């Protein structure tokens, strides 16, 4: 692979996700493999604006494949939303003689990359790192699989209490406007009902359904509620409504919150991150830019940044059917 690129920078931006470290490691080692210098940028676009850089070699990224979070830290940068901020970032890249950039993050990170590329024609390749799995052009984002496993483990524990006390538990999970985490973790943990933003079940139908399952002999129930769900916007309000209209159960609420974002990445996420990191450097060295590297049908592939923002992957309707059937 003959390329003019001599120095490539890498950063993580937006919400952290398990597997980001594995992706950084793959980018750094891929650079070392191709004799390209690699520069780590701390705190995402914020560090780019401040010139918070450090040269990374293959040994700099030892013992991080198993660690959650991101050792380069992440940030949400207001200043990068301004032309002046982006100009400062560009000036630092030029001063350090950096030829290209790898950005690991979610849709906001890619939006920033698109604007930056339009203004300065600077080569950028993105890697999808977010637990939400809400990026178009890849079947999976880094961190999603680990988050699913964390959620299932947590629900398993809550189920023990639900069973012992004949309780109904409403469990709110992350996912912003995408119901992937709720639907998949709900099926995996054997939830009785799953509320996702892509399908508004309605409060009355939910109560009717819970009554039916109680009559069929169930003594406890788990309802998984996606944070972006129509009736999940206010899970406490939903719990009050259920308490008033379904007296058969004692109703409890658990919001899983940020435990879903941390923890050691699953093997799936480590392998995905490694493939995408290597893919990002391959793409840059082949002269590609303004793209995101993803995996579709188990093949590493690329899509233009703009396409990655064209709505998230549609929810798998067949999974909704599976959830309906097995929760009878
Ligand atoms: P997550 O999905 O985990 O929230 P994200 O990448 O979507 O991750 P954001 O905070 O939305 O996280 O975006 C990361 C950063 O990208 C922002 O803090 C901001 O600096 C930059 N950014 C987002 N949108 C734009 C934009 N339109 N123009 C310039 N920069 C942007």
The preferred substitution site among 104, 109, 127, 176 for testing ligand 1, maximizing ligand atoms within 8 Å of CB, is 109
Active-site entry in 132, 134, 145, 180 = 132
What pLDDT, in 10s, does the model give residues 167-222? Answer: 899 999 998 778 899 999 999 999 999 999 888 778 888 899 888 888 888 888 99
The domain of 217 spans: 145-261
What pLDDT, in 10s, does the model give residues 126-142? Answer: 999 999 999 999 999 99
- Residue 184, CA atoms < 13 Å, CB-side half-sphere: 20
Strand 100-105 with 7-12, pairing: parallel
Residue 325 lies in a domain: no
* Rounded percentage of the chain residues whose pLDDT exceeds 90: 77
Atom of ligand 1 nearest to the CA of 17: 3
* Three-class DSSP category at 48: helix
Domain boundary among 243, 261, 279: 261
Q: Is 30 in the pocket of ligand 1 (CB under 6 A)?
A: no
pTM comes to 0.94
Supply the DSSP symbol for 257: G
Rounded average pLDDT over 312-316: 71
CB of 171 closer than 8 Å to CB of 186: no
Q: Is the pLDDT of residue 231 over 70?
A: no
Domain boundary among 261, 293, 323: 261
Told to judge if 99 belongs to the known catalytic residues of this protein, a careful annotator would answer no
Residue 31 lies in a domain: yes
Q: Is 114 in the pocket of ligand 1 (CB under 6 A)?
A: no
Residues 92 and 190 in one domain: no
Residues 58 and 101 in one domain: yes
Q: Is 85 in the pocket of ligand 1 (CB under 6 A)?
A: no
Residue 321 lies in a domain: no
Residues 139 and 193 in one domain: no
Whole-number pLDDT of residue 205: 86
Q: Is the pLDDT of residue 233 over 60?
A: no
- What is the total count of domains within the chain? 2
Atom of ligand 1 nearest to the CA of 13: 14
Q: Is 106 in the pocket of ligand 1 (CB under 6 A)?
A: yes
Q: Is 112 in the pocket of ligand 1 (CB under 6 A)?
A: yes
Rounded average pLDDT over 55-82: 97
What pLDDT, in 10s, does the model give residues 12-53? Answer: 999 999 999 999 999 999 999 999 999 999 999 999 999 999
Whole-number pLDDT of residue 232: 47
Angle of the 203-215 helix axis to the 235-245 helix axis, nearest 10: 50
């Amino acid at each position: 692979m003959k390329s003019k690129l001599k120095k490539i920078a890498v950063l993580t931006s937006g919400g952290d996700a398990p597997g980001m470290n594995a992706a950084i490691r793959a980018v750094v080692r891929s650079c070392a493999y191709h004799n390209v210098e690699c520069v780590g940028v701390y705190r995402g676009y914020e560090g780019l604006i401040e010139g918070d850089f450090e040269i990374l070699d293959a040994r700099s990224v030892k013992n991080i494949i198993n660690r959650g979070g991101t050792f380069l830290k992440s940030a949400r940068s207001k200043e990068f939303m301004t032309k002046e901020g982006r100009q400062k970032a560009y000036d630092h890249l030029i001063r350090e003689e950096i030829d290209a950039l790898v950005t690991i993050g979610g849709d906001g990170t890619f939006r920033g990359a698109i604007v930056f590329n339009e203004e300065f024609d600077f080569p950028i390749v993105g890697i999808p790192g977010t637990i939400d799995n809400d990026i178009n052009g890849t079947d999976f984002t880094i961190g999603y699989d680990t988050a699913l496993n964390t959620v299932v483990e947590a629900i398993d524990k809550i189920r023990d209490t639900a069973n012992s006390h004949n309780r109904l538990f409403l469990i709110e999970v992350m996912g912003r406007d995408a119901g992937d985490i709720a639907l998949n973790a709900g099926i995996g943990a054997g939830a009785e009902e799953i509320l996702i933003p892509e399908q508004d079940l309605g409060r009355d139908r939910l109560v009717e359904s819970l009554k039916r399952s109680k009559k069929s002999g169930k003594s406890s129930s788990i309802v998984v509620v996606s944070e972006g769900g129509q009736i999940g916007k206010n899970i406490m309000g939903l719990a009050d409504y259920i308490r008033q209209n379904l007296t058969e159960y004692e109703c409890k609420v658990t919001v899983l919150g940020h435990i879903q974002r941390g923890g050691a990445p699953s093997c799936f996420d480590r392998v995905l991150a490694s493939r995408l990191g290597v893919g990002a450097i391959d793409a840059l060295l082949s002269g590609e830019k303004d793209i995101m590297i993803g995996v579709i049908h188990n093949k590493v592939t690329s899509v233009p940044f703009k396409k990655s923002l064209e709505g998230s992957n549609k929810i798998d309707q067949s999974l909704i059917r599976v959830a309906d059937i097995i929760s009878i």
